[in-house]
Structure 1
Amino acid sequence: MTTTSYDATRIDPAWWSWEGMHGGWVAGAALTAVRGSFAGGAQPVRSLTTHFLTPVGTGPLSFSGTAPATGRRTSTCLFTGHQDGEPVVLGSALFGPSRPGPAYAGLAAPDVPEPDDCLPLELPADLAPFARQLEMRPGTGDLPLAAGPRAELVAWVRFRDDRPLDAAAVTTLTDVLPPALYAHWSTPRPVPTAELTVHFSDALDDGSPYGWSLVRIRCDHAGGGWAVDDSAVWSRDRTLLAAARQARVVRGPTPPQTAAGTVNS
């Protein structure tokens, strides 16, 4: 079993979150780093799991990976990300080509107005600096920190740089909305991601869409200092691109930190 090292990933500080780099962005960066070793990057990714061992800072992020199992139809990569010589993330990615088979679409997109008919939402810059890279338009009346009856948020989202919605970008989108509990709370608190698993649909096999995507995140259970969020990403034509689940740590209210590690006043 051979271990492959990849060129260090440059961290974009614009994707800073509450107390570290945005988890979805880091997971997408890991996928970009390792996928080129599998059939020249031609095989579609089917799933990506990322465990966050500690907040990722703004220094270079180096990845290494191994391929312990390669079958006739799938390839699996195990990867580790290091900063300053210490592991900060680890995970796995599963790759496999398309082939004929039955189709089923059970995860329907929410029935919401088109993005042009929805008002924009600006997330507080001190809580989510990365949100400046995005345009968000809630599709329902559920808003962050509005103390609503349910823990669910739905919004149209697009990248301001109009990047293609490839697998790495879609991974980021599964994590761009505030934690679902924010729809039920009125006071912010850090809810960092400990583990994120993304399952990609075959809609990305033939290319990447652009523009608006519809994103939903919801929490069906929280307790004991933990919460489980389920999210889904659809293209503008309501085609499912990915479904994800993440385990979050629910912490007490604390001031957010900047990318330099200082506390905002």
Structure 2
Amino acid sequence: MSSAPAWTFDPTWRSFSAVQGGVIVGSLLRAARGAVMDRSGRPAVVRTATAHFLEAVLPDEPVVPSVRLNRLGSTSSVHAEAWQGDALRALAQVLVTTARDQDDPTPVVADADLPTGFRTPDDAEPLAVPPDFVPFTRHLDVRAVGAGRPLAGGPEPRLTAWIRPRDRAALAGPLVQLGVVADALPPSLYATRTTPIVLPTVELTLHLVRAVPPVGAWLRVDQWTSWQDAHVCIDDALLHDAQGRLVARTRQTRRVLRR
């Protein structure tokens, strides 16, 4: 088990009272990829990751990452953790591949890209998210696509938006941006409601199918609720780049807390 320099997130990275889960996941992916590259001396690509959120990560307190390589090779399995004090706050199991001659995946994904003529960020509608409740959104430019809007009482639990950071310097790299964007939209159930309920994310899984765009690039998130019961709901999402190419598929489990 190895540790890296601690992270600290100021209160502007809060989602409600805790630090946004996406920036934690993205930071764990970056740490896992870095550990593989340091040990192998080869370019490395994150392929899949599953993260669990165990306790809230608090702002303005050091977060200490800890990385363990379960297997190092052309396919590496990495266990990454985020600690505050004596408490394990989040963990991720990350699959990383290495190669001698290429850094980026070169996928062939049939019918996964957006059709010609899809609505670009310039044609989308700016979406204002109340920063008092989710302060991390002040770091993002969010532009809505389609009819779904949070708390609009619509017929379908689906939200779609283009998202990019306002300040490239605020994010430590493309994998951190990917995590932030993947967890940036409200729960898709909010599109069918007019009042909020508490739906914290407790698990987030990502499958990366293309090279992650650089920090500052637009990513389109098309997110929908695919399943729910009285205790949890599942949001699936597709992330595309500004050229309409599929970048990642994600799924997150949200607890349903009725208070």
Give the TM-score range, shorter chain.
0.7 to 0.9
Report the counterpart of residue 189 of structure 2 in structure 1.
181
CA 1:209–1:80: 2 relative to 1, 3 Å: closer
AA matched with 2:119: P
Report the counterpart of residue 262 of structure 1 in structure 2.
none
Report % sequence identity: 33
Q: How far, CA to CA, are the matches of 1:24 and 1:146 in structure 2? A: 25
Displacement of 1:210: 4.0
Report the counterpart of residue 97 of structure 2 in structure 1.
96
Partner of residue 36 from structure 2, selected from 32, 35, 38 = 38
SS in 1 for 2:98: coil
What whole-Å deviation, never above 9, does each CA across 1:201-258 have from its counterpart, x for those lacking one?
A: 1333xx63743221111102111220001112111101111111111101125xxxxx
AA matched with 1:64: S
Q: How does 1:151-190 map to 2 (within 5 A)?
A: 151-162=157-168, 166-190=174-198
Q: How far, CA to CA, are the matches of 2:95 and 2:151 in structure 1? A: 36
What whole-Å deviation, never above 9, does each CA across 1:184-211 have from its counterpart, x for those lacking one?
A: 111012211111011111333xx63743
Partner of residue 205 from structure 2, selected from 167, 173, 197 = 197
Displacement of 1:167: 2.2
CA RMSD of aligned residues (A): 2.2
CA 1:11–1:218: 2 relative to 1, 3 Å: same
Runs of 4+ residues deviating >6 angstroms? 99-102
Answer yes or no: is the 8 Å Cα contact 1:198–1:243 preserved in 2. yes
Q: How far, CA to CA, are the matches of 1:101 and 1:79 in structure 2? A: 26
AA matched with 1:187: T
CA 1:118–1:104: 2 relative to 1, 3 Å: closer
SS in 2 for 1:37: helix
Q: How far, CA to CA, are the matches of 2:121 and 2:106 in structure 1? A: 33
Displacement of 1:106: 3.5
Answer yes or no: is the 8 Å Cα contact 2:49–2:205 preserved in 1. yes
SS in 1 for 2:214: coil
> Whose strand fraction is larger, Structure 1's or Structure 2's?
2
Displacement of 1:32: 2.2
AA matched with 2:34: G
Q: How far, CA to CA, are the matches of 1:108 and 1:43 in structure 2? A: 24
Answer yes or no: is the 8 Å Cα contact 2:233–2:254 preserved in 1. yes
Unmatched runs of 5 consecutive residues or more in structure 1: 254-265
AA matched with 2:129: L
What whole-Å deviation, never above 9, does each CA across 1:33-69 have from its counterpart, x for those lacking one?
A: 3321112383011112110001111111111121122
Q: How far, CA to CA, are the matches of 1:170 and 1:101 in structure 2? A: 18
Q: How far, CA to CA, are the matches of 1:155 and 1:101 in structure 2? A: 25
Report the counterpart of residue 52 of structure 1 in structure 2.
53
Displacement of 1:112: 4.6
CA 1:209–1:17: 2 relative to 1, 3 Å: closer
What whole-Å deviation, never above 9, does each CA across 1:14-43 have from its counterpart, x for those lacking one?
A: 110023111111101112233211123830
Q: How far, CA to CA, are the matches of 1:66 and 1:192 in structure 2? A: 27
Q: How does 1:1-265 map to 2 (within 5 A)?
A: 3-40=1-38, 42-58=43-59, 59-71=61-73, 73-97=74-98, 103-109=108-114, 112-162=118-168, 166-204=174-212, 208=214, 210-252=216-258
Count of aligned pairs between the two proteins: 248
AA matched with 1:184: T
Answer yes or no: is the 8 Å Cα contact 2:114–2:244 preserved in 1. yes
Q: How far, CA to CA, are the matches of 1:222 and 1:39 in structure 2? A: 39
**TM-score w.r.t. structure 1 length?**
0.86
Unmatched runs of 5 consecutive residues or more in structure 2: none
SS in 2 for 1:44: strand
**TM-score w.r.t. structure 2 length?**
0.88
